[in-house]
Structure 1
Amino acid sequence: MANIKSAIKRNKQNEKRRLRNRIVRGRTRTFIKEARLEIQNADVESAEKAVLKAVSSLDKAAAKGVVHKNNASRRKSRLMKRLAALKK
């Protein structure tokens, strides 16, 4: 346990940020799962909507620093690749 005042404050800040980041990361994961499910169901229109939601969520998470921008780009690319394969 931290004894120094600044260290105590840091711990509080880190805990708040961790919880906020968990929410963002969890929401993003949910959107990605929904997009994959829609792609599996082979419904192009709903799959497009779900993928756009997931991409938007990934962009927001990357902008906030929750996930690295390259990680977000890779995930978006893989989702878009699956969507493109579905459209063919």
Structure 2
Amino acid sequence: MANTKSAIKRNRQTITRTERNRAEKSRMKAARKTTLAAIVSGNKDEAVKAASVFSSVVDKAAKRNLIHPNKAANLKSKTAKAIAAIG
């Protein structure tokens, strides 16, 4: 257990950041599932809307260093490819 005031504060900050990051990652996963469900259903309009939301969430996660920027690009590319295949 932390003894100094600074160590206690660091523990508090770590807990807060961990909760925030977990929520953001969860939001990203939920957006991805929604997008994939729209793609599987074959509804292109719905899939495009869901992909737009997913793209925004992924970009924010990459900006906040929750995921690597290349991973964000790969995820967005995969969804764009899948939507194009609906055609």
**Is this a same-fold pair by TM over 0.5?**
yes
TM tier relative to shorter chain: over 0.9
- Taking structure 1 as the reference length, what is the TM-score of the superposition? 0.92
CA deviations on 1:8-34 (whole Å, 9 max, x unpaired) are 111110110010111111111101000
Equivalence for 2:64:
64
Shift of 1:5: 2.1
CA deviations on 1:22-77 (whole Å, 9 max, x unpaired) are 11111111010000000000001001000111011100111112222112111111
Gaps of 5+ in 2: none
- Taking structure 2 as the reference length, what is the TM-score of the superposition? 0.93
The 5 A counterparts of 1:31-70 are 31-70=31-70
Cα RMSD of the aligned pairs, angstroms, is 1.0
Larger mean CA deviation between 24-33 and 69-78 belongs to 69-78
Residues in 2 aligned to 1:11 and 1:68: alpha-carbon distance in whole angstroms: 25
Gaps of 5+ in 1: none
- Count of residue pairs brought into register by the alignment: 87
The secondary structure found in structure 2 opposite 1:50 is helix
